[in-house]
Structure formats: structure tokens, C-alpha cells
């Protein structure tokens, strides 16, 4: 009995030890299983893309978050080529080359790329890539973050900054009439950049013909390399521009061929697929138009809003330009009248100080230069009475017919004249800028030399007097 007990004690100890080891192993297995389940839950719940690719770029596995972003389930694309399904066509070859460099260890594993979703939308992803070994085979583990919203915000800020810069430049151009002829090209350049349009026209409505004149034209995709003569002239009575003229509302479409029924176009004109047109309207009058076509993306309401703001500034610029040319033409007419008039004309500022005199006036007073009158003041004229000044202040013209001895005029303001004679002048003085909303600008004096008339009248009087004396 003692021998049996001594032989079974070691066996019991050995069995107990095995049981303890087995229990510990089972506990470790359960712990690993719990850790695996926890890790699996983390992977499944993570709001981060986790993607596994084999050495040929085929999809091995990805987590549910990637399915949420792309719309593809794992069983649909497992084992298929990652690049042909998810990468943009223009980025296909560069993406393969980057993948091969990363797998060979010749490239950093951090990069940014765009991927296509099942619905065709584009997502911006920031990737962190690392090569791992799985059962002796190298695989690429890709961890990605969806930064689409961040990129959209950054793009929106950049776009808004570009729009503000464009509007600021256009606003500045309004202040400088000398640059007004460059406004259409300036508007077209900014509008095409903001909307990514390769085709554009910017024009104004000619007041005389009623046609749309387009001095600024962009045709990057012109058929057969042909281009029209510039400036281009369009009728506003028919066709698409006639419709826009009648509606006086913007047009935006990304299916222009179907919606607009464009009809036949010139041989040089590219096919219109997308179209955005905004009329430039001021005080209910169509003064110009901005037309853009074939953007490399669909036109959006954001584009329409931006171009509409440009169209408003463009309308103001056209009105400003029209007013500037009208004033310029008016000033030129006045200068011509002032220069060629047979009537002597003198100009004075609002305080009565002399500004200028025309050639006829200088000839009347036998002067070579208007500088001779510099410093003279209308209000100090010895022949202008206080009553005359009151009339002028109220805007009533004053007309006087007076006798002047030329070397006594203006009390020394005029250099002695070679004529040294008495002049008889019919002078009318009026105030400038008193009609309508115009501000008061000064005075204008018109002088008629009636010396010869007066001398003839005096001579006739003497003859009549002499005849009466002889007859008596």
C-alpha cells in the first residue's frame, strides 16, 4: 500500500500541474479572444478608413467605415483591383507608381488623394501607409481620414477670396475712367477663372444699333483652330441672345444642347454643353451681358451668384463709361465753341477770379496771352455795380453796354495796349451751373465789340447835327 501511494503522488502532482497550465492557457486564449473581439469592435466602430491591399494592388479587406464613405460593400470588391475601381482616371497611372514605390520602400507612406464613390462623387482622403507582413507575404496597410469637408471649406475660402479680389479690382477700375476700355476683358478674365470656363463673351449694348458688341472674347476650344473677327457683334432681336434680352433673367444649365435648342452655330464655334449667362441691367435697362460656357465642371448657384455680382459692377462701369464719354464730348464741344467763337469769352471761378479767355476776347483787347488777365476779379470791375452783383448771385444774367479806355481797364491788371483807344463793348455776364442739379461753378462773360457800330452812330449824329445847323 505504501508503494502504491508513493507511485501515484507524483502522477497527481503532474496532472494538477497540467490542469493548472491548461487553465492558464485557456485564460490566455479567452483574454486574447476578448482582446481580438475588442480590437475588431474598435476597427468596425472606428471613424477612420482601414484598408488592406495585396502586392498587386488588389483589395484584401477594409472596415465598415470605408463602406459608409464609398458605398461599396467588401464582398462586392474583395480581390478586385483597387485602382480601377476607386481612383480617378487621370490619376490611375500616377497612383500605381506611388503604390509600387511604397511597396519597395522607396517612398514615404503619407500622401493625399481623391477617390471615387459608388455614386460617382469624389472624396478627399489623407493616407498613412505602412507595409506589413502577413503569413510571409507583404501587404499594404492604409489608414485614411476623410478630409472632404475640410477641403471644401478651404476651397470655399479660396474661392471667396478670389471673388473678393475680382470685385475689388472691378470696383477700383470704376474710379479710373482711363481704364474703362479694359473693363470687358477684366470682367471676362475673372469670370472664366472663377467658373473654370474655357469659353466666354462680355459685351455691351450699342445705343445706336441696339446690337450686342463683344470686345472681350475667349475661345480656348474653338473648332479647327478658327476664331471670329473681334469685336463680335450679335443681334438682340432673335436667337438665344434675343431670348435673354426679352427675359432679362440669368440662364444657367448643364445640359445646354437639350434645354436651349441652340440651333446651327458658326463653324468656328465649339459645341455648347454647359451655359451660364447673366444680363447686366441698370435701372431696368439692359446695358450688357456676361456669357460663359463649357466649364470643366457643372455650373452651380455659387457661380451664378458670383457672376451676377460682377454683372452689377459691369453695368455700373458701362454707365460710368457712358457718362464719362458724354461729359468728355460735351467738354470738347465747349472747348471748340470757346476756341472758335467770334464772341469774346472770359471764364471766372466761383469767387470771381479770372480763369481763361478765348482768342476772340484777346483780339478785342489786343492781348497776346490770357496771362495778362491773371489775378483780375470780376467783382472788382469798375463797371459792375452792386445791383449787378445781386442779380448775378440770384442767377439773373447781367447785360451792360459800356465805354472802355483800353489802358485803364482792370486798374493795371492789363499791360498797356498798342491800340490806346476807346472801346465800346456789349457785355453779358451769367452764372454757370445754376440750372438743374449742377453745382455752382463760376461765371461766364461774353463780349461783343461794338466800337465800329458806335463810331458810325456818332458820326451820323454829327452829320445830322451839322445839317440841322446849315439848314437853320
- pLDDT digit string, tens, across residues 417-465: 445 467 888 889 988 864 544 555 789 999 888 888 888 888 888 888 8
| Per-residue pLDDT at 2 exceeds 60 | no
Give 264's DSSP letter. -
pLDDT at 144: 92
| Per-residue pLDDT at 6 exceeds 80 | no
Q: Out of 18-27, 150-159, 276-285, 346-355, which region has the weakest mean confidence (pLDDT)?
A: 18-27
Which of 199, 296, 281, 194 is CA-nearest to residue 246?
Answer: 281
Segment 370-386 shows an average pLDDT of 82
- Report the DSSP beta bridge partners of residue 115: 87, 123
Mean pLDDT estimate for the chain: 81
In this predicted model, what pLDDT tens digit does every residue of 214-262 receive, in sequence order? 888 888 755 444 555 667 787 776 666 666 667 788 989 998 765 565 5
Q: Which position has the grid cell 440651333? A: 263
Percent of the chain at pLDDT exceeding 90 = 27
Cα–Cα dist 443/41, whole Å: 92
In this predicted model, what pLDDT tens digit does every residue of 52-71 receive, in sequence order? 999 999 999 998 889 999 99
| Per-residue pLDDT at 34 exceeds 60 | yes
pLDDT at 32: 67
Segment 17-28 shows an average pLDDT of 74
Q: Out of 81-90, 168-177, 451-460, which region has the weakest mean confidence (pLDDT)?
A: 168-177
Q: Residues 294, 221: contact at Cβ < 8 Å?
A: yes
pLDDT at 207: 81
| Per-residue pLDDT at 176 exceeds 80 | no
363 falls in which pLDDT band (50, 70, 90)?
A: confident
Which residues touch 398 (CB under 8 Å, ≥6 apart)?
384, 388, 391, 392, 428, 429, 430
Grid cell digits, residue 433: 451751373
Range with top average pLDDT, 75-84, 161-170, 364-373, 414-423: 75-84
First to last CA, the chain: 201
pLDDT at 376: 85
CA distances, 469 to each of 23, 458, 465 (Å): 165, 16, 6
pLDDT at 371: 83
The values of phi and psi at residue 159, to 5°, are -65, -45
pLDDT at 106: 77
Mutual orientation of helices 183-195 and 301-340 as an angle, nearest 10°? 170
pLDDT at 95: 92
Which residues touch 359 (CB under 8 Å, ≥6 apart)?
339
| Per-residue pLDDT at 303 exceeds 90 | yes
Q: Out of 8-22, 142-156, 209-223, which region has the weakest mean confidence (pLDDT)?
A: 8-22
pLDDT at 380: 82
- Report the DSSP beta bridge partners of residue 354: 348
* More confidently predicted of 295 and 419: 295
| Per-residue pLDDT at 411 exceeds 50 | no
* More confidently predicted of 181 and 390: 390
Percent of the chain at pLDDT exceeding 70 = 80
pLDDT at 191: 93
pLDDT at 126: 94
Segment 338-347 shows an average pLDDT of 90
Segment 183-196 shows an average pLDDT of 91
Segment 49-54 shows an average pLDDT of 92
pLDDT at 218: 87
Q: Residues 452, 423: contact at Cβ < 8 Å?
A: no
Amino acid at each position: 500500500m505504501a508503494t502504491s501511494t508513493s507511485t501515484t503522488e507524483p502522477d497527481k502532482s503532474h496532472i494538477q500541474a497540467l490542469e493548472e497550465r491548461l487553465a492558464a492557457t485557456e485564460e490566455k486564449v479567452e483574454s486574447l479572444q476578448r482582446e481580438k473581439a475588442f480590437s475588431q469592435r474598435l476597427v468596425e466602430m472606428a471613424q477612420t478608413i482601414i484598408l488592406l491591399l495585396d502586392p498587386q494592388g488588389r483589395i484584401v479587406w477594409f472596415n465598415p467605415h470605408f463602406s459608409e464613405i464609398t458605398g461599396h460593400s467588401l464582398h462586392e470588391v474583395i480581390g478586385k483591383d483597387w485602382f480601377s475601381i476607386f481612383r480617378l482616371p487621370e490619376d490611375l497611372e500616377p497612383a500605381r507608381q506611388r503604390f509600387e514605390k511604397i511597396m519597395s520602400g522607396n517612398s514615404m507612406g503619407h500622401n493625399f488623394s481623391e477617390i471615387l464613390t459608388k455614386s460617382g462623387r469624389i472624396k478627399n482622403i489623407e493616407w498613412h501607409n505602412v507595409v506589413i507582413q502577413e503569413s510571409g507575404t507583404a501587404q499594404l496597410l492604409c489608414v485614411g481620414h476623410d478630409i472632404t469637408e475640410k477641403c471644401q471649406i478651404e476651397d470655399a475660402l479660396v474661392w471667396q477670396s478670389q471673388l473678393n479680389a475680382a470685385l475689388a479690382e472691378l470696383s477700383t477700375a470704376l474710379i479710373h475712367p482711363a481704364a474703362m476700355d479694359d473693363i470687358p476683358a477684366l470682367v471676362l478674365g475673372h469670370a472664366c477663372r472663377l467658373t473654370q470656363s474655357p469659353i466666354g463673351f462680355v459685351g455691351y449694348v450699342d445705343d445706336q444699333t441696339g446690337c450686342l458688341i463683344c470686345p472681350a472674347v475667349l475661345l480656348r476650344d474653338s473648332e479647327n483652330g478658327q476664331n471670329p473677327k473681334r469685336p463680335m457683334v450679335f443681334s438682340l432681336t432673335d436667337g438665344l441672345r434675343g431670348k435673354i434680352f426679352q427675359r432679362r433673367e440669368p440662364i444657367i444649365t448643364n445640359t445646354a444642347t437639350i434645354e436651349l435648342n441652340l440651333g446651327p452655330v458658326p463653324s468656328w464655334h465649339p459645341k455648347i454643353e454647359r451655359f451660364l449667362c447673366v444680363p447686366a441691367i441698370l435701372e431696368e435697362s439692359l446695358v450688357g451681358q456676361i456669357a460663359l460656357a463649357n466649364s470643366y465642371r457643372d455650373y452651380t448657384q455659387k457661380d451664378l451668384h458670383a457672376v451676377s455680382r460682377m454683372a452689377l459692377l459691369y453695368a455700373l462701369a458701362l454707365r460710368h463709361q457712358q457718362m464719362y464719354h458724354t461729359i468728355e464730348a460735351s467738354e470738347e464741344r465747349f472747348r471748340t465753341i470757346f476756341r472758335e467763337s467770334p464772341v469774346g469769352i472770359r471764364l471766372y471761378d466761383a469767387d470771381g477770379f479770372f480763369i481763361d479767355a478765348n482768342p476772340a476776347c484777346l483780339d478785342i483787347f489786343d492781348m497776346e496771352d490770357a496771362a495778362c488777365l491773371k489775378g483780375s476779379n470780376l467783382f472788382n470791375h469798375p463797371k459792375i455795380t452792386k445791383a449787378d452783383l445781386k442779380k448775378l448771385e440770384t442767377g439773373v444774367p447781367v447785360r451792360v453796354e459800356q465805354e472802355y479806355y483800353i489802358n485803364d481797364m482792370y486798374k493795371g491788371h492789363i499791360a498797356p495796349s498798342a491800340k490806346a483807344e476807346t472801346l465800346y463793348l456789349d457785355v453779358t455776364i451769367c452764372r454757370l451751373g445754376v440750372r438743374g442739379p449742377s453745382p455752382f461753378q463760376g461765371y461766364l462773360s461774353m463780349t461783343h465789340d461794338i466800337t465800329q457800330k458806335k463810331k458810325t452812330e456818332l458820326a451820323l449824329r454829327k452829320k445830322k447835327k451839322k445839317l440841322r445847323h446849315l439848314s437853320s
